[in-house]
Structure 1
Amino acid sequence: MACFKAFSMPEQSQTIMAVDELQAIIQRCQILEEADFKGEDFSLFQVAGQKCLEDGYAAQLLEVIQNEKNKVIIKNMGWNLISPLVRCIFMYKQEDDKREHCLKILDQLAQLCNPKELFLGLLEQIEQASGEQACQTVMLLLRPLQTVLLKLQNKKAYSLGLSLAMIMNQLTPLPVPYTKQQIQEDKLGLCQCCNAVVDFTKPFVNEVIKNMEKSSEYNDMELKEELLKFCMKCLKYPLLTAQLEQLEGIEEHPFRHFATEIIDILWDIKELIPLVFLHHKSISSHWKNQEFADIERKNSADSLACLSYLMFVQHFGIDCFPMVFSPSYLLQCNMTHIEVLLKRTEESMLSKGLDLFESCLLRMEDNSLLHQYLELRDFINVPQDLVKVMTLCPIEHLRKKSLHILQLFIDKFDTEGKYALFRCLLKTSNHAGVEGYIIKNIKDQIHLSLTRTCDNIWFTGHHLISLLDLVLLLPEGAETDLLQNSDRIMASLNLLRYLVIKDCESDNQTGVWTTLAKIEQNFLKPLHVGLNMSKAHYEAEIKNKKENRREAHSSNTVCSVTVSGEKMPAMTTEMQLQVLHSALFTFDLIESVLARVEELIEVKIKAVMDENS
Structure 2
Amino acid sequence: MALEQLSDVVQKCQAVQDDKYSPEDYDVFNTAGRTCIEEGHSAQVLSILVDEKNQAMVKCMGWNLLDPLVQVMLKQEVKNRPHCQAILKHLLKVCSPKELLVGLLEQVEEAPVELLVSAFLLLLKPLKEVLMRLGERKASSLGMVLATLLEQVAKLPTPRSREQEADDFHPLCHCCTSLMAFVRPFVDEARASLAGPREETPSQAGGERGGGGGRGRPNKEDELRVELLKFCMKSLSEPLLQVQLQDSDPLAVSPLREFALDVLSSLTAIGESLPSLVSHPVLRKRRAEGFLEEEVRYPKESLASLAHLLFVHHVAIDTFPAVYSPIFMLRCNMEHINLLLSRTEEHCIHKGQELYEKSLVTVVDGSVSVNELEIKTFTSVPQNLVKIMTLCPAHHLRTKGLKLLQLSIDKFDVEAKYKFFECMLKVSSHSGVEGYIIKNIRSQIDFSLKPGNENDWFLGAHLMPLLRQVLVLPDGPETDLLQNLDRLMESLNLLRYLVLRDKVTQNQTGVWTELTHLEERFMRPLRVGLNMSRAHYEMELQRTMAGHKGKVKGDSMLSVAVGDEQLPHMTSESQIQALHSALHTFDMMESVLVRVEEVVQESS
**Residues 132 and 480 (structure 1), Cα distance of their counterparts in 2 relative to 1, 3 Å cut:** farther
* C-alpha distance in structure 2 between counterparts of 1:25 and 1:65, whole Å: 12
The alpha carbon displacement at 1:76 in A equals: 2.9
Deviation of the 1:169 alpha carbon? 3.6
User: Could you tell me which of 40, 51, 57 is aligned with 1:56?
Assistant: 40
Equivalent pair of 1:132/1:188 in contact (CA under 8 Å): no
Aligned partner of 1:467 in structure 2 is: 466
Structure 2: distance between partners of 1:354 and 1:193 = 29
My pick for the range that moved more, 98-107 or 174-183, is: 174-183
SS of 1:385 mapped into structure 2 = helix
Q: Which aligned pairs between 1:86-165 and structure 2 lie closer than 5 A?
A: 86-90=70-74, 92-93=75-76, 95-129=77-111, 131-165=113-147
Deviation at 1:508, TM superposition (A): 0.8
Matches within 5 A, 1:368-383: 368-383=367-382
- Could you tell me which amino acid in structure 2 is paired with residue 47 of structure 1? T
For 1:360-439, what aligned pairs fall within 5 Å after superposition? Answer: 360-439=359-438
- Where does 1:434-453 land on structure 2 (aligned, <5 Å)? 434-453=433-452
Contact kept, 8 Å, 1:280 with 1:304, in 2: the verdict is: no
What whole-Å deviation, never above 9, does each CA across 1:48-98 have from its counterpart, x for those lacking one? 3212211122333344445566544433322111111122223x23x3333
Measured in 2, the distance between the counterparts of 1:595 and 1:45 equals 98
Is the 1:549–1:555 contact (alpha carbons within 8 Å) kept by the matching residues of 2? no
> Structure 2 vs 1, CA of residues 561 and 229 (structure 1 numbering), >3 Å: closer, same or farther?
farther
Q: How many residues align?
A: 584
Task: Report matched runs for 1:330-341 at 5 Å.
Answer: 330-341=329-340
Do structure 1's residue 76 and structure 2's residue 60 form an aligned pair? yes
Q: Which residue of 2 aligns with 1:356?
A: 355
Residue of structure 2 in register with 1:518 after alignment: 517
Q: Give the 3 Å change call, closer, same or farther, for CA 564–101 of structure 1 in structure 2.
A: farther
Paired residue type of 1:391 = T
Contiguous gaps of at least 5 residues in structure 1: 1-16, 606-613
Tell me, yes or no, if structure 1 residue 190 matches structure 2 residue 153: no
Distance 1:255-1:39 versus aligned 2 partners, 3 A rule: same
| Secondary structure of 2:238's aligned partner | helix
Mapped contact 1:556–1:573 kept (Cα < 8 A): no
1:434 deviates by 0.9
Deviates more, 1:587-596 or 1:19-28: 19-28
Distance 1:280 1:496, change over 3 A: closer
Q: Distance in 2 between matches of 1:475 and 1:567?
A: 22
Q: Is the 8 A contact 1:110 1:147 kept in 2?
A: yes
SS at 1:241 equivalent: coil
Who is 1:6 aligned against? none
- Return the offset for 1:21: 4.2
Point out the more displaced range, 467-476 or 34-43: 34-43
Query: For the residues of structure 1 that align with 2:174 and 2:289, how far apart are their CA atoms?
Result: 31
- Secondary structure of the residue aligned to 1:96 is coil
Counterpart of 1:326?
325
Give deviations 1:509-541, integer Å, cap 9, x for gaps.
Answer: 111111111111111111111111111122222
Aligned to 2:196: 214
C-alpha distance in 2 between matches for 1:105 and 1:571:
75
CA displacement at 1:240 relative to structure 2: 1.5
Residue 457 of structure 1 aligns to a residue whose secondary structure is coil
- What's the secondary structure of 1:286's corresponding residue? coil
Distance 1:555 1:452, change over 3 A: farther
Q: Specify the alignment match of 1:234 in structure 2.
A: 235
Structure 1 pair 585/105, CA: closer, same or farther in 2 (3 Å)?
farther
After TM superposition, give the deviation of residue 500 of structure 1 in Å.
1.4
Query: What letter is aligned with 1:461?
Result: G
- Which amino acid is 2:410 matched to? D
> How far is 1:581 from its partner?
1.8
CA shift in 2, pair 1:126/1:562, >3 Å: farther
- The 2-side partners of 1:553 and 1:280 are apart by 71
Q: Contact 2:6/2:32 (CA < 8 Å) preserved in 1?
A: yes
State the AA in 2 paired with 1:236: S
Deviation digits for residues 93-140 of structure 1 (CA, Å, limit 9, x no counterpart): 3x3333344344333322332212111111222333354444433332
Given that 1:483 and 1:564 are in contact with CA atoms closer than 8 Å, whether structure 2 keeps it comes out as no
The structure richer in helix per residue is 1
Shift of 1:177: 4.2
Distance in 2, Cα, partners of 1:556 & 1:222: 78
**2:33–2:65 Cα contact (<8 Å) kept:** yes
* Contact 1:285 1:293 (8 Å CA) reproduced: no
> Do 2:162 and 2:246's aligned partners in 1 also have CA atoms closer than 8 Å?
no
CA gap of 1:82–1:31, structure 2 versus 1, over 3 A, is: same
Describe the superposition over 1:273-316 as per-residue Cα deviations: whole angstroms up to 9, x where unpaired: 23222229948942511xx316617x812111111111111111
Change (3 A) 1:574 1:313: same
CA distance 1:564–1:245, shift in 2 (3 Å): farther
Instruction: State the distance in 1 between where 2:13 and 2:190 align.
Output: 41
Q: Show the counterpart of 2:31.
A: 47
Which residue does the alignment assign to 1:262? 263
Mapped contact 2:19–2:57 kept (Cα < 8 A): no
Q: State the partner residue of 2:203.
A: none
SS for the counterpart of 2:293 is helix
Change (3 A) 1:390 1:154: same
Tell me by how many angstroms 1:248 deviates: 8.7
Contact kept, 8 Å, 1:260 with 1:317, in 2: the verdict is: yes
> Structure 1 residues 343, 154: CA separation in 2 closer, same or farther (over 3 Å shift)?
same
CA distance in 2, matches of 1:280, 1:170: 34
Q: Return closer, same or farther for 1:565/1:268 CA change in 2, 3 Å cut-off.
A: farther
* Sequence identity (%): 47
C-alpha offsets along residues 450-493 of structure 1, whole Å, 9 cap, x if unaligned?
A: 11324311111011112111111111111111111111111111
Give the aligned partner of residue 290 of structure 2: 288
